[in-house]
Chain A
Amino acid sequence: DAGITQSPRYKITETGRQVTLMCHQTWSHSYMFWYRQDLGHGLRLIYYSAAADITDKGEVPDGYVVSRSKTENFPLTLESATRSQTSVYFCASRLAGGSSYNEQFFGPGTRLTVL
C-alpha cells in the first residue's frame, strides 16, 4: 500500500528484551523520523535520518538504535527494553529540499508496552 506504514501496531514485551519497530514508506522520501508520544510531553524526536546510511540523534535517543540501509525503511530498535520506554512510537517522513517540502507525513503509530 502507498504511504507510510508501521509494524507491529501493538507490542507487549518484557524488561530487558530487544524489540524492533518497523517503518516503511513508499514515497521515496529522503528524511525519516522516529518520535515517541507520552502523556504530558507531546511528541519528542528520538532519531532521524536524512538519507540512507545517514542518521542522527534527536532529543531522546538513549536506549534506542536505528539503521537505514534502504531509503524506504527505518527500523527502530530498543536493545534492552525498559519500562520507561512504554510509549506510542510514530514514524514520519518528508521530502528533502525547500520550504514547501517541510511537511512531515506520519505513520499510524506503534503502541509499545514494556512489562
Chain B
Amino acid sequence: AQSVTQPDIHITVSEGASLELRCNYSYGATPYLFWYVQSPGQGLQLLLKYFSGDTLVQGIKGFEAEFKRSQSSFNLRKPSVHWSDAAEYFCAVALNQAGTALIFGKGTTLSVSS
C-alpha cells in the first residue's frame, strides 16, 4: 500500500542553523508531493509542491525541497531557521491527477532553540 514516512517525530534546531526534514514515500510511480506546515492551533498551510520538472522546488518562507526518485524521498530544507518556524511539518502525496485525497506522513515537530 502507498505510504509516507517521516522518520523524525521531533527535531530541535538552534536559531540560525540549517534544517532538513526527511520524507520518504512508497509508490510505484512518481507521485505529486507536498509539504505542509501547521502552527499551533492552526490549520495546514502549503509550503511547496512538486509535480514534475526541476527536482529542486522553492516554496514560501525560504523553504525548499528536493525530489530524489532513486531514494523515494522529498526532503524539506531551510538554510537558516527562525524561531517562528517552530511548528509541525507534514509531508503528503497525491497519487494521481484525479486525486482522491492526500496521504499524509505522521508529521515532524520542529522546536527552535535560542
Contacts and interface: CB of A to CB of B under 8 A. Distances in A.
A8 to B, nearest CB: 15
A77 B18 CA distance: 44
Nearest to B49: A103
B43 A106 contact: yes
Contacts of A40: 106
A98 B52 CA distance: 13
Interface residues of A, number: 27
A42 B94 contact: no
A47 B52 CA distance: 28
A56 B100 contact: yes
A41 B51 CA distance: 25
A102 B101 contact: no
B56 interface: no
B49 A90 contact: no
B43 A107 contact: yes
Given A99-B32, A102-B51, A48 B43 contact: no
Given A42-B107, A100-B51, A58 B43 contact: no
B43 A109 contact: yes
Contacts of A107: 43
Nearest to A4: B43
